[in-house]
Structures are given as structure tokens and as C-alpha cells.
Amino acid sequence: MTGHHWGYGKEDGPSAWHKNYPVAQGNRQSPIDIIPEEATRDRDLGPIFLDYDRCTSINIANNGHSVVVEFVDSDDRSVIRGGPLDNPYRLKQFHFHWGGKGHDGSEHTVGGIGYASELHLVHWNAVKYRSFGDAAEAPDGLAVLGIFLETGDDHRWLHMITDALFMVKYKGSDTDFKGFNPKCLLPSSLHYWTYLGSLTTPPLHESVTWILLKEPIIVSDKQLGMFRMLLFNGEDEDERKRMENNFRPPQPLKGREVRSSN
């Protein structure tokens, strides 16, 4: 891996990340396999609140690892709060992880079962830290809301995203993406599992309070197939590598507790 280039291939994929990022073998790595019957039902664990009504999306981009929608995070206009969180955390971006055609591509698994895809809404603790970068290096710096995607009928709002993917086919491309509220991507229930973990891609910082919704959203095979039109490589590179299987497999639990909302 020249420099700190990493990917999802045989040579630069998750099994090689520890060479440049030794924390890959740390004690609070993500994702994990969630075993529902082993999760602790914690009566003190209240509901989460997603105040996204004044959220401001900026753009959609292909960063060579996933497709990312970024938000204005210079004030508390869109935050997640409650549940396991002691402060409100500001929404910074969301992105997806997915598999190859007919293959699962979620990062977390539930009772050893994967989903077709997983959506991550990334938030940072702006009460305690001055920037996302600083928060990303702190044990209570980030909160990522994970939502599983299961295949079935078309998702009524996902087309807003899939319609824009042709504009960001190549690594390093981005385009305006204003007025998108991720509330439209939530399932009906906000019941969740939560545990202390890490970023699931390098730099793999152990700074994430994970909040995983139990109820998946339903998207169609066709919609998911649109994500596979994206490429890992830039327009200038001669090799065309379809962006798929951009997920890290489950990591050792190392004695961590997984809690369940009521």
C-alpha cells in the first residue's frame, strides 16, 4: 500500500489495513456481529431524537471508497441526541456500504446474517470538540447511526440519490446536492442497539458510539444496482473498477457490551 492508500481489494483490503493502521487490531473495532439475545436491555437507555428538520445538504461526492452526501455542520441545525449520548452530535455526512450483485454488503451483521447494504449517518460532538477531525480522534467524539437496507420494493425517496449517481461515477467527482433531508431514509421504528466502536475504514479511530436501528429500510435490487455503476477509480486511471463490496467484515467483540433500547 503506497503511502496510506487503502481499498477493498485483495492486496489493500481490510486484512491488510493493520499494516498502516495498527489500531485495526484494537479493542473497540467496528463493525461487529450483533447477537440480539445477548444484548442488554437497559432501562436507562432512552429514545434517540433526530432533529434534521433544518438540515442543509451541500453536495454528493465519490471519494473512491463510497458515495457521500455532506451537510453544513457549522451550527447545531441538524443533530442526533438522546439514547446513549450525553451531548447533541452534529450531522456531517452520510454514505453507504454495499455488496456485489446478489451478495450482501452490510458491515454489521445480526445473528451472523448480513443485509444487502448499510447506510451510515455520521455525527460529531461539537460541544466538546472544535472540529470533526479532533472529534474523530476522541473516544466520545463521533456518533454514527447505522441503518440496514434490505431488498424488496422500490424505496420511494432513494431515487433522489440514485438519480445523482451518474454525476459522481469517478473517484474525486462531486456535484451540488441541496435540499435533501435524510429523514426520508429512516424506517418507522427508532428502536436500536448501541455499543462503543470505531470508524470502519482507515484511519479506524476508536471514536464512535454506534447506534444501529433494528428495523431495515426496503430498497429494490434495481436501486441498489445503481450504486454498482460507481467506480473506485478516477477518470484519469485506465483501470475501471466497479465500486462494490466496500464493506469491512465483523471484528472481535473483545468483551464489549451491546445494549438494546426498550
Residues that bind ligand LBQ (CB under 6 A): 120, 122, 133, 136, 144, 199-201, 203
Shortest spacing between CB 164 and Zn ion, in angstroms: 19
CB-wise, 41 or 60, nearer to ligand LBQ?
Answer: 60
Please indicate whether residue 120 is annotated as part of the active site.
no
Shortest spacing between CB 14 and ligand LBQ, in angstroms: 12
From ligand LBQ, Zn ion, none, interface partner of 199 (C-beta below 5 to 8 A by class): ligand LBQ
CB-wise, 120 or 155, nearer to ligand LBQ?
Answer: 120
- Asked if 248 touches Zn ion (CB under 5 A), the answer is no
Shortest spacing between CB 210 and Zn ion, in angstroms: 10
Nearest to 62 by CA among 203, 229, 231: 231
- Asked if 120 touches Zn ion (CB under 5 A), the answer is yes
**What phi and psi, each to the nearest 5 degrees, are found at residue 221?**
-55, -40
Contact (Cβ atoms closer than 8 angstroms) between residue 168 and residue 60? yes
Cα pseudo-dihedral 185, 231, 109, 12, rounded to 10:
-150
Q: Which of 4, 5, 18, 65 is catalytic?
A: 65
Query: In whole angstroms, how far apart are CA 121 and each of 72, 90, 215?
Result: 14, 10, 15
CB-wise, 198 or 223, nearer to Zn ion?
Answer: 198
The set of catalytic residues is: 65
Write out the residues near Zn ion by the rule CB under 5 A: 120
